[in-house]
Amino acid sequence: MEIQLLSKLLVSFVFVGVLGLFFRVYNAVVAEPGRLRSTLRKQGLRGPLPTFLLGNILDMKKARDVAAKAGTVNGPPDSHNCGAALLPFFDEWRKKYGDVFLFSLGNTQIVHVTQPEMVREITTCTSLDLGKPTYQAKERGSLLGQGILTSNGPIWAHQRKILAPELYMDKVKGMISLIQDSTITLLNSWRNIVEREGGLADINIDKYMRSFSGDVISRACFGSNYSKGEEIFLKLRALQEAASKSFGHRDSRHEGMISLIQDSTVVLLNSWRNIVEREGGLADINIDQDLRSFSGDVISRACFGSNYSKGEAIFLKLRALQEAASKKGFALGIPGMRHLPTKGNREAWALEKDIRTLILNVVKERQEAGYEKDLLQMLLEGAKNSDLSSDMLDKFIVDNCKNIYLAGYETTAVSATWCLMLLASNPKWQERVRAEVLEVCKGQTVDYDMIRKMKQLTMVINESLRLYPPVTVVSREAFKDMKFGNIDVPKGMNVWTYVLTSHTDPEIWGPDAYEFNPERFANGITGACKFPHLYMPFGVGPRVCLGQNLALVELKVLIALILSNFSFTLSPSYVHSPALSLVIEPGHGVNLYVKKL
């Protein structure tokens, strides 16, 4: 009798549990998405009809597959409308449904906005009730965790309070010598290749850009050089694909960082010079990895007190993690997908574990070595001052280290790669900027005052970031009912604006919006288009990228020193195929014919 009673009770508990789970799933997958869409539809908003569980993912994938084939071009492109190749459905839906429309990623409901005034309201909103979408922290957890890129509310405010002062322009000025060190490594490498190739070398620049970027990040932020952190960077890079201090200075802190950037640039230039000399005066160089190395070197030196070679392990793991994450593609919105033991998820879980171990080893070394005035030290002190358990302290440090690596490493490297591609495709602008650099520097070491005078270089970088911005989508989520323009946005609704649309809309930028024309920035960003707030390569408003000052100084020092040492054209092997892997990157890399001046 007791056994029968226990059996009935057990069956009852199981039934109640299953029923509760059913209602929870039903609410998440059907009821809540339906409520959100209904609220917006009652206000006149329309959009493509979603399917159960998948939303509009199948439509998006189909449109993207078709556009990707058409967007692949041998040699330099006639048009730089990469938005039409990467996420073509946004423009299609905008034409059909207007500047504000609805769509779904799985059960995630999104309002897409391109109306200028609404974009201004959303991106400049300072309320903590509007933040980064919660699904990003869940679906990109292995890659981004709860760091500053994905956190919200008081947690985000605390993280920003710790990190932001270390990346103000006064601090960045103090990192120029560090960036210069990283550049020297790259220059020496290219110099050796060019010499070995008899004066002209075909160089794939991708790895050099990543090495540079990683070296800067490691030296500047983490107290290690790239070689030590490379494993972490590669693991983060793989995960991305699987999921798709103050330094020596001349004027107190104002000159040190320019010198830092220049050092990193000289490293890159020496590398290219060697390649060109080896190739007999002209070399075909793939620049992608070179620029990543440069970017990593600057970040490493400027923020973590080390150069890229010391932190290389971290960068390589992060790169692998980034690649693993980007493979998930549109599946991010499908409920429960992140929990399934798929090949991509298993790869991401293993990489996440490795990266955590590598970063905590760097932290342990720092704690044993003692105090350094850099970003890592600020993180450690900020964590100590937080009311967190030991495990949560480690997570706080690891997540923000990953965020800094990814934001400072990948975006700078890819931005440098695109800028060099555009200069290689436009020899008149290459000569124009080179003449300016030589006139301003006059053979002297680059400093902050010099790069401020390089107007032509600034125009080229601004135009490159307009056409190939590191940020593709500005996304937010309403954590309570809010109102933007005449639209009532219910709690739980996501709001997106597609940066590539804002950056290349002919109605905003003129009929040459898809062309490379740096002259449009002759009077600065405010003179370049009708709505300057729509130019947002690093985001905009309170969630703007903290590292944009460092990234821009890195780019200026790197490009200036490369132009001072080499001339370059696109290799005939170059295939223009923009690809989306969290950032917009060259799908087949960038190869340049490099010749020493």
Q: How far is CA 346 from CA 147, 326, 416, 492, in A?
A: 22, 14, 32, 30
Residue labelled with tokens 């059913």: 22
Task: Give one DSSP letter per residue of 274-323, joined into a string.
Answer: HHHHETTSEEEEEEHHHHHHHHHHHHHHHHHSS-TETBHHHHHHHHHHHH
Q: Residues 251, 333: contact at Cβ < 8 Å?
A: no
DSSP state of 539: B
Q: Where are any strands of DSSP class E within 244-345?
A: 278, 282-287, 309
237 vs 231: CA distance, rounded Å: 10
Q: Which residues contact 91 (CB under 8 A, 6 or more apart)?
A: 83, 84, 501
Has 545 been labeled as part of a binding site? yes
User: What is the rounded CA–CA span in Å between residue 357 and residue 6?
Assistant: 47
Coil, strand, or helix at residue 111?
strand
DSSP state of 309: E
Contact 213, 408 (CB under 8 A): yes
3-state secondary structure of 378: helix
**Tokens standing for residue 534:** 């729509």
Query: 184 has which bridge partners?
Result: 268
DSSP string, 472-502: -EEEEEESS-EEETTEEE-TT-EEEEEHHHH
Binding-site positions for heme? 545
Binding-site positions? 545
